[in-house]
Amino acid sequence: MKYALVTGGSRGIGRAVCIALAEEGYSVIINYVSNKDAAQEVKDIIESKGQSAELLAFNVADAQAVEEALNSWQEQHPEDYISVLVNNAGIRMDNVLVFMQDNQWNDVINTTLGGFYNVTKYLVKYMMTKRYGRIINMASLSGLKGLPGQTNYSAAKAALIGATKALAQEVAPRKVTVNAIAPGFIASDMTKDLDEKALKSMIPVGRFGKPEEVAAVVTFLASEKASYITGEVISVNGGLYT
């Protein structure tokens, strides 16, 4: 059995990624932080199609919680390892810098960048030992371009892109690839407060993207076909170039 862990797999893009990876034959580990019902729904959808999934709750920003959860998974699966990691968990807490609260800065950085560090550091050693792995980091257009009102989020996503490029070079000899995806506006809970009507006029394709359209790129990067792509950032943004 091949295992894939998707952080923030309970909703939005992560949910679509879980379902798509299960369709590719992975046993999917659905991580979430608080929304157990939504995570359970994803598990039920996957199992109703005869595929395999399990839940693993932890806060990616909490190093100790990550270690405990992954230790317990590893103890229950002593012969197995997680060969695909999708670092997808993320939050938005927008504010202009002049009014930014410390918690808005810290929570966004700790979830995106701290989450990447905590989960990847634990799992990459198994991938390196087994000489195969795929790490896919959910960055953002905001991390490429910088968006006003999002200095915290843009900084976190830009840092994630830097980490992607550096780690890709460290682990390439062990056949572990590390890539990032930079979605533009994707319809999910994260963007439901945005004015789609006003924003879509800026998007050449003329609409927000669907989580499934991001998940399709994840499954490709997770596949063996993508063996020669590493350290890359792939935009999925309907032509909304930076």
Which positions are catalytic?
A: 153
> Which range in 69-77, 122-130, 188-196, 220-228 contacts ligand NAP by CB under 6 A?
188-196
Both tokens assigned to 132: 């195969």
d(CA 61, CA 143): 19
Q: Pick from 132, 146, 191, 231: which binds ligand NAP (CB under 6 A)?
A: 191
Site for ligand NAP in 67-96 (CB under 6 A): 88-91
Of 8, 2, 10, the residue nearest 27 (C-alpha): 2
Q: Pick from 3, 4, 5, 11: which binds ligand NAP (CB under 6 A)?
A: 11
Whether 4 and 56 have beta carbons less than 8 Å apart is answered as no
How far from chain centre, in Å, is Cα 224? Answer: 19
Question: Which class for 129: exposed (0-12), middle (13-18), buried (19 or more C-beta within 10 A)?
Answer: exposed
For the chain, the helix, strand and coil percentages under 3-state DSSP, each to the nearest 5: 50, 20, 30
The reply on whether position 183 binds ligand NAP by CB under 6 A is yes
Find the shortest distance in angstroms from Cβ 49 to ligand NAP: 20
> Which range in 29-37, 78-86, 198-206, 226-234 contacts ligand NAP by CB under 6 A?
29-37
Per DSSP bridges, beta strands 82-87 and 133-138 are parallel
Q: Pick from 190, 216, 226, 229: which binds ligand NAP (CB under 6 A)?
A: 190
Find the shortest distance in angstroms from Cβ 209 to ligand NAP: 7
d(CA 76, CA 89): 24
| x/- track of binding to ligand NAP for residues 105-134 (CB under 6 A) | ------x-----------------------
Q: Where does this chain bind ligand NAP (CB under 6 A)?
A: 7-8, 10-14, 31-35, 38, 59-61, 88-91, 111, 138, 140, 183, 185-186, 188-191
